[in-house]
């Protein structure tokens, strides 16, 4: 009986040992499963969202700001002294004038007397010259000296006539200057003369500006000049006033010099008939400028989030990352228009949200997402 009891204990111990071994093995298998999953995930690569982009034609609009300036700002000054004799009191700032319209008339009595006196002097000189020439015709030229032929007399009479004519023209100009008119189609910016006022030569009477157009000064940085290309050949511009009204603008000229402060070059646009609309486009206000370029080829439209901090993009080829240089053509709201520096005609998978941990050649698991934006116009 003792022997049988010992055998029973041995069997129990062996059974417990086998059960413990099976439990340990099962635990080890379960413990290794997460590691296996991690290895599988690492092999699959970094998950990234990508967009499939196709280069195409696009019409690009670049927006900036400018300042409107009056065209031909001019001070109309009195050329002669005198009292204001005629003044249209309805001519106030903002009034439009035709070329040659009367601005003010000065009392011209003294200047008309001066002109008539000069006119009489001219008539007297003409008479004296005619008398001498008549006398000369009855003389025998071959028997007399130059003095006897009245040659110096006629020369002096001709000089007197020239002097009298010059005095008359000066008097005529002074008489005409009593009638002050608009030198070109203009808008009155400021009126500085009153009825009955005595004005001296050099006094400012009005400040005018051309009414047929207004200038718009726009300063552009060097990168912007590159984006716009050859502005002189085929570019349209739109000016948007603070009121929201839009105006078509065209290029007046390119400034050949740089601003010494901003180190930027500028151009000047012109807007025709700015003052006749309601509301008008007034000088010295900030406006928005939209430059519309001719259609461009090989342009990609994408969300702005595809750009890295240094203005590049990540693309995926054969499940591997590549960092590519692009030219940013336009940026509006949350969209950008760009062109790839190399192989610009090729379609690409563009990483939607680039990460700072991405490396060149890194293996990824791309997931294609839809780009909800339609169209490529910037």
- 210-246 per-position pLDDT tens digit: 999 999 999 887 767 766 765 655 567 899 999 899 9
Q: Are 53 and 300 in contact (CB under 8 A)?
A: yes
Answer whether residue 373 shows pLDDT above 60.
no
Q: Are 348 and 53 in contact (CB under 8 A)?
A: yes
Task: Give the pLDDT of residue 58.
Answer: 86
Task: Give the pLDDT of residue 235.
Answer: 67
347/4: higher pLDDT: 347
Q: What is the mean pLDDT of residues 113-139?
A: 92
Answer whether residue 23 shows pLDDT above 60.
no
Instruction: Give 13's pLDDT tier (boundaries 50, 70, 90).
Output: very low
Beta strands 335-340 and 348-351: pairing type? unpaired
Going by C-alpha positions, the residue among 37, 68, 48 that lies closest to residue 274 is 68
CA-to-CA distance for 329 and 336, rounded, in angstroms? 8
Answer whether residue 378 shows pLDDT above 70.
no
Q: What is the pLDDT of residues 295-304, one digit of tens each?
A: 888 999 999 9
Q: Are 220 and 265 in contact (CB under 8 A)?
A: yes
CA-to-CA distance for 311 and 326, rounded, in angstroms? 7
Cα–chain center distance at 168? 51
What is the CATH topology of the domain spanning 61-105+180-292? Answer: OB fold (Dihydrolipoamide Acetyltransferase, E2P) (2.40.50)
Answer whether residue 190 shows pLDDT above 70.
yes
Instruction: Give 2's pLDDT tier (boundaries 50, 70, 90).
Output: very low
Task: Give the pLDDT of residue 37.
Answer: 45
What is the CATH topology of the domain spanning 108-177? Answer: Helix Hairpins (1.10.287)
Dihedrals phi, psi of 344, to nearest 5 degrees: -65, -15
Q: What is the mean pLDDT of residues 342-360?
A: 93
Q: What is the mean pLDDT of residues 274-281?
A: 90
Question: What is the token pair recorded at 189?
Answer: 């910016």
- The region of weakest confidence among 181-195, 327-341, 343-357 is 327-341
* Domain residue ranges in the chain: 47-58+297-368, 61-105+180-292, 108-177
373/209: higher pLDDT: 209
For the domain covering 47-58+297-368, report its CATH number. 2.40.420.20
For 304-329, b/e burial (b = at least 16 CB within 10 A) is: eebbeeeeebbbbeeeebbbeebeeb
What rounded mean pLDDT belongs to the chain? 84
**Cβ-count burial of 338 within 10 angstroms (0-12 exposed, 13-18 middle, 19+ buried)?**
buried
**Contacts for 67 with CB less than 8 Å, ≥ 6 apart:** 216, 217, 284, 285, 286, 287
Task: Give the pLDDT of residue 36.
Answer: 41
Helices (H), the chain: 2-44, 109-137, 151-176, 222-228
Going by C-alpha positions, the residue among 194, 212, 219, 214 that lies closest to residue 204 is 194
Q: How many other C-beta atoms are found inside a 10 Å radius of the C-beta of residue 105?
A: 16
Task: Give the pLDDT of residue 24.
Answer: 44
Distances in whole angstroms, Cα of residue 303 to Cα of each of 62, 282, 297: 17, 37, 19
Answer whether residue 41 shows pLDDT above 50.
no
CA-to-CA distance for 326 and 307, rounded, in angstroms? 9
Q: How many other C-beta atoms are found inside a 10 Å radius of the C-beta of residue 74?
A: 17
Task: Give the pLDDT of residue 248.
Answer: 93
Q: What is the pLDDT of residues 155-187, one digit of tens each?
A: 999 999 999 999 999 999 999 999 999 999 999
In the sheet with 204-210, reading across from the earlier edge strand, the strands are 74-77, 204-210, 186-191, 96-97
Task: Give the pLDDT of residue 287.
Answer: 96
């Amino acid at each position: 009986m003792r022997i049988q009891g010992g055998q029973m204990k041995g069997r129990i111990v062996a059974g417990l040992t086998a059960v413990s071994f099976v439990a340990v093995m099962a635990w080890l298998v379960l413990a290794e499963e997460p590691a296996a999953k991690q290895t599988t995930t690492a092999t699959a690569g970094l998950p990234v969202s990508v967009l499939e982009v196709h280069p195409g034609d696009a019409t690009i609009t670049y927006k900036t700001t400018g300042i409107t300036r009056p065209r031909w700002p001019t001070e109309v000054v009195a050329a002669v002294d005198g009292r204001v004799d005629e003044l249209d009191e309805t001519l106030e700032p903002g009034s439009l004038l035709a070329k040659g319209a009367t601005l003010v008339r000065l009392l011209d009595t003294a200047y008309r007397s001066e002109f008539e006196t000069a006119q009489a002097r001219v008539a007297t000189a003409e008479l004296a010259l005619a008398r001498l020439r008549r006398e000369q015709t009855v003389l025998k030229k071959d028997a007399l000296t130059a003095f006897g032929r009245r040659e110096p007399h006629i020369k002096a009479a001709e000089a007197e006539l020239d002097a009298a004519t010059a005095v008359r023209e000066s008097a005529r100009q002074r008489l005409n200057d009593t009638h002050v008119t608009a030198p070109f189609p203009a808008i009155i910016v400021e009126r500085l003369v009153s009825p009955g006022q005595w004005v001296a030569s050099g006094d400012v009477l009005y400040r005018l500006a051309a009414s047929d157009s207004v200038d718009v000064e726009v300063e552009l940085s060097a990168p912007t000049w590159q984006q716009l290309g050859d502005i002189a050949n085929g570019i349209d511009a739109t000016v948007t006033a603070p009121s929201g009204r839009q105006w078509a603008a065209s290029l007046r000229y390119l400034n050949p010099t740089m601003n010494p402060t901003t180190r930027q070059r500028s151009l000047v646009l012109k807007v025709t008939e700015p003052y006749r609309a309601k509301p008008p486009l007034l000088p010295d206000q900030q406006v928005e400028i939209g430059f519309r370029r001719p259609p461009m080829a090989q342009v990609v439209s994408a969300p702005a989030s595809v750009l890295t901090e240094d203005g590049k993009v990540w693309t995926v080829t054969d499940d591997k990352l590549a960092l590519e240089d692009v030219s940013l053509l336009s940026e509006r709201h949350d969209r950008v228009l760009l062109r790839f520096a190399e192989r610009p005609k090729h379609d690409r998978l563009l990483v939607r949200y680039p990460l700072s941990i991405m490396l060149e050649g890194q293996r990824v698991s791309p997931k294609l997402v839809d780009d909800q934006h339609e169209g490529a116009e910037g």
